A and B are shown apart, each in its own frame.
Chain A
Amino acid sequence: MSGVPEGFRQTRLVDPFELHVGPIYELGEKGAKRFGFRVDKRHVNMRGVIHGGMLMTFADAALGQAAWDATDHGNVVTLNMQSQFLAPAKNGDWIEVAPVLTRRTRSLLFFRGDFTVDGLAVYSVSSVWKILGAD
């Protein structure tokens, strides 16, 4: 119910809002990373179920890290995020995602991500990012 799975290391976060809700962790190398975090009492609602806002914030943080890696620390911003909430995750669950860069153009990054708890899909996103200064 607690701790971090073997092999994961803490992701270096800089955004105050991500530091406020984190930490988050990562496994693997640039371009093929998995990201994860442990749900705690800060992240849930009165029913002990994770808040959609925390899932969307984790998605934005994980995809942001992947976008940063894909652009060699370029200046990237979220243009759009579509979220589907598939099943509830609870306090103590470990949630992870391996962001997929579906397509990359000169100025845009298209991502999708399937988030799982013990292999069960709980949340999925697709998201468009802009590479600033590339247009």
Chain B
Amino acid sequence: MDKVPDGLPQDAENVSRGGFNLHAGPVWRLPADGEVRRFALVIADKHMNGSGYVHGGLLMTFADVAMSQTSRAVSGAETCSTVSLTCDFVGPAKLGEILEARVRVTRHTRTMVFLSADIEVDGRPVAVATGLWKIA
């Protein structure tokens, strides 16, 4: 088992196994909150922009990983591909803060999954993403 960082529940599970997921992560799966699937990322030095805030590319990566994990979980498919993703950047986040993605399934068909993710720090909004996944 991977050591869970401070500030995350002990049953958090690392879902970053390799490649870009691990290079940019790690992303942790948290226990679900009812219908809402939750993921976390602890902001480290490598995740920052030059102004001292978390980089937009990292926020979109985190949203993509959280929603891709959810699309696989709800479809049961081994792989799902991101078809589109829209992200609004609504507030800053800083080094050491814990990003939480709260993912909701809007609709799930035989071939597609429609998802949204609210990314927050302590309940404060940082980014809002929606996206469409194709079940492979």
A associates with B: yes
**Is B19 in contact with A57, judged by CB distance below 8 angstroms?**
no
Give the A-B pair count, Cβ closer than 8 A: 120
B106 within 8 A of A: no
Residue on B nearest A50 in the bound complex, by CB: B20
Chain B contacts of A50 at CB under 8 A?
Answer: 20
**Is A54 in contact with B20, judged by CB distance below 8 angstroms?**
yes
Q: For window 10-27 of chain B, which residues contact chain A by CB distance below 8 Å?
A: 17-21, 23-24
Chain A contacts of B17 at CB under 8 A?
Answer: 46
Query: Contact partner of B82 among A46, A47, A52, A82, CB < 8 A?
Result: A52
**Is A51 in contact with B20, judged by CB distance below 8 angstroms?**
yes
Q: For window 39-83 of chain A, which residues contact chain B by CB distance below 8 Å?
A: 41-47, 50-54, 56-61, 77-83
A14 within 8 A of B: yes
Q: For window 87-125 of chain B, which residues contact chain A by CB distance below 8 Å?
A: 87-89
Chain A contacts of B65 at CB under 8 A?
Answer: 53
Which of A16-24, A101-109, A111-119 touches B?
A: A16-24
CA A45 to CA B61, docked complex, whole Å? 12
B48 within 8 A of A: yes
**Is B24 in contact with A53, judged by CB distance below 8 angstroms?**
yes
Q: Could you tell me how many residues of chain B have their Cβ less than 8 Å away from some Cβ of chain A? A: 33
Q: For window 62-97 of chain B, which residues contact chain A by CB distance below 8 Å?
A: 62, 64-65, 68, 79, 81-89
A10 within 8 A of B: no
CA A84 to CA B81, docked complex, whole Å? 11
Chain A contacts of B55 at CB under 8 A?
Answer: 15-18, 57, 60
Instruction: State whether A53 and B48 are in contact (beta carbons under 8 Å apart), knowing that A17-B57, A47-B79 are contacts in the complex.
Output: no
User: Shortest CB–CB separation between residue B85 and chain A, in angstroms?
Assistant: 5
CA A88 to CA B20, docked complex, whole Å? 15
B50 within 8 A of A: yes
CA A45 to CA B20, docked complex, whole Å? 6
What is the interface of chain B, defined by CB distance below 8 A to chain A?
A: 17-21, 23-24, 45-50, 55-58, 60-62, 64-65, 68, 79, 81-89
List 18 contacting pairs A-B, 8 Å CB cutoff, sorted by A: A15-B48, A16-B47, A20-B23, A43-B19, A51-B19, A52-B60, A52-B61, A52-B85, A53-B24, A53-B60, A53-B65, A56-B60, A56-B64, A57-B61, A81-B60, A83-B85, A85-B81, A85-B82
What is the interface of chain A, defined by CB distance below 8 A to chain B?
A: 14-18, 20-21, 41-47, 50-54, 56-61, 77-85, 88
